[in-house]
Amino acid sequence: MNKHFKQIYKLSGKPIRHVIGLMSGTSLDGLDIAYCHCSEQGLEVKKYLTVPYDKKIRSLLASVQSKDQVPLGSLCILNTKLAHSYAAFIRMALQKWNLNHEDVDFIGSHGQTVFHFPTKERTATLQIVDGDQLAVASGLPVVSDFRQKHTAVGGEGAPLVSLMDEALFRDAKIARMLLNLGGIANLSWLPSSNSGSEVVSSDTGPANTLINEAMTLYFGKEYDKDGEVARQGQVNNEFVKALLYDDFFKKKFPKSTGQEMFNLGYIHYQMQSLGVYLQPKDLVATLTQFTIESVALAMKKISNSISFEWYVSGGGLYNTMIMEGLRAHFPDCPQRNIDELGIPPDAKEAALIAFLADAMIVGKKFLVNKREISLGKLSLSD
């Protein structure tokens, strides 16, 4: 047997696999790293941290993310450069955690989404950070590029988190809604398994992306801490209602979106078209309300009046304005701390990538568009 096949076969047979999951989202704030133990019993996050991107990396990523035109040279260089940066970040994390290279079996890497393009014919999506480059630079096997197989069989390629949510968190009797409020908001609807109803996974629209863009442009800050600026502004409710008439919100679930659609240019165009003028603080308040209303709208449509408990992860969890607004929509549905499910909220997306990488190594498949498929591509260090 080929020595590489032997290596993977040996890993797949370990009762506990030690996996590092890497996730970088649309907010471009840094790389989330989670060190996880994966087994037949589930997944346990042992260590996690976020390595903030410096201004140079953030600027380079912003220059290629969700742009209609991008210099191919810049994209090509970033695909390689980021892999070596990731390897350095992993070494930094291991040192901080007092772990050795030998304490890691393999890496799961999501990469950086630079464009996500759902269409009626077929969804196309592109993530950079080359798996081979990362494998060689880190000296460890790497599983990456998880979204392509999903789109190849007719899926949206996003969100993927419901694959883990269903496997780990679905309850026999209790319906659950798991929200992730990153740049874009997504949810996993987990009706009780006894109900016979299907799991739904979908993006809902913007979470933090529009707010963060406005904060950067008008206030020179990366985000609205605790919703402080939004609290000082006046919401234009008519403009919020107008934004909710967008065709995206009329599409059936599941659906996906990204900054290609929901960006500040889109908002300014809508303002100009409707003759709306907003002071910066009022704009932040209005965009915050837009996030609240669009997420709540999706939650109500999908749950269809069924009572549920709900959990939140992602940066939006720390925006008290968003959280207060969502709670007001669901006063009879208890919000639970996602730590109760065994995963810290800040580690969830990186843990997802570790989960998907482990699934690929052990041969676990997922049902997507009525087909059982594996996700991810394997890169070896030699």
Task: List the chain pLDDT tens, one digit each, 382 residues.
Answer: 677 788 888 888 899 999 999 999 877 889 999 999 999 999 999 999 999 999 888 888 888 888 888 888 889 999 999 999 999 999 999 999 999 999 999 999 999 998 888 777 777 898 999 999 999 999 999 999 999 999 999 888 888 999 999 999 999 999 999 999 999 999 999 999 999 899 999 999 999 999 999 999 999 999 999 999 999 999 999 999 999 999 999 999 999 998 889 999 999 999 999 999 999 999 999 999 999 999 999 999 999 999 999 999 999 999 999 999 999 999 999 999 999 999 999 999 999 999 999 999 999 999 888 899 999 999 999 8
Rounded Cα–Cα distance for residues 215 and 21 (Å): 30
Tell me: do 32 and 11 sit in the same domain: yes
What's the N-to-C CA distance of the chain in angstroms? 16
For residue 56, what are the domain limits?
3-155+344-379
Question: How many independent structural domains does the chain possess?
Answer: 2
Tell me: do 198 and 230 sit in the same domain: yes
Residues 6+ apart with CB under 8 A from 22: 31, 32, 33, 86, 90, 107, 108, 109, 110, 350, 353
Tell me: do 70 and 114 sit in the same domain: yes
Tell me: do 178 and 97 sit in the same domain: no
124 forms bridges with which residues in the sheet?
Answer: 117
What pLDDT was estimated at residue 1? 64
Q: Residue 124 burial (CB < 10 Å; 0-12/13-18/19+)? A: middle
Tell me: do 302 and 175 sit in the same domain: yes
Rounded to 10°, the helix 3-12/348-362 angle is 120
Tell me: do 38 and 151 sit in the same domain: yes
Contact status, residue 179 vs residue 205, Cβ threshold 8 Å: no
Tell me: do 205 and 139 sit in the same domain: no
Tell me: do 165 and 312 sit in the same domain: yes
Tell me: do 220 and 326 sit in the same domain: yes
Predicted TM-score (pTM) of the model is 0.93
Rounded Cα–Cα distance for residues 57 and 348 (Å): 23
Tell me: do 90 and 140 sit in the same domain: yes
Tell me: do 130 and 83 sit in the same domain: yes
Q: Residue 203 burial (CB < 10 Å; 0-12/13-18/19+)? A: buried
Question: Strand 200-206 relative to strand 309-313: parallel, antiparallel, unpaired?
Answer: unpaired
Can you give the CATH number for the domain in which 332 is found?
3.30.420.40
Rounded Cα–Cα distance for residues 117 and 112 (Å): 15
Tell me: do 249 and 276 sit in the same domain: yes
